[in-house]
A = this chain, B = another copy of it.
Amino acid sequence: MSLRSGILGLLSYGPKTGYSLKKEFDQSIGYLWTASLSQIYRELGTMEKKGYIRSSIEVQEDRPDKKVYTITDEGKSEFLRWLTDFPDNLSSVKRDDFMLRIFFGSQLKKGELIKQFERFIEQKKNYIELLNRLLASHEEKGIKTIGKDLIFWRFTAKRAVMTLETVIKWARECITELEEADL
């Protein structure tokens, strides 16, 4: 139940609407957890029933009213229960359909494969740049505003960047091997 925990975690920084939660998912933890609006609204509904969050309407003129959610004490302890309870097995589920296609690559043409590896490299490069901008914006705000969180945001973003650099290296090696191989 990690969508729930993600929402509670973000709400632990302060009250938010469904819409603004979606933006935070996209902009700050999108590289490690994604969520759609409909999912967020549904989860907010069930969490309010359970008493993990409370809502209040903030009336606005010239744009739709806001429903602002605040985390309750039960919500905080529910979040901490999840946070401190690491699962025995720390591996995340692997379902990667790019890799599945490569696994069955012998049924593809060499040229097509190389083209796809090149697209792959391009996309990962762009993603690294995006993450570096995110990291830089955290670093800029610095310890004064973000506080103790900075080091952990650096950790997670760092892992993403390092992994991307590795898969780029891997894809380059694949291209070289493919070019040398006679298929």
Contacts and interface: CB of A to CB of B under 8 A. Distances in A.
A80 B104 CA distance: 10
Chain A contact residues (Cβ within 8 angstroms of B): what range?
35 or more
Given A101-B83, A108-B84, A162 B158 contact: no
Interface stretch (A28-36, A43-51, A55-63): A28-36
A90 B153 contact: no
A173 B157 CA distance: 13
A170 B57 CA distance: 44
Given A9-B100, A155-B174, 14 more contacts: A2-B97, A6-B100, A9-B104, A29-B103, A31-B94, A32-B96, A33-B95, A90-B116, A102-B155, A105-B155, A151-B183, A155-B177, A158-B173, A159-B170
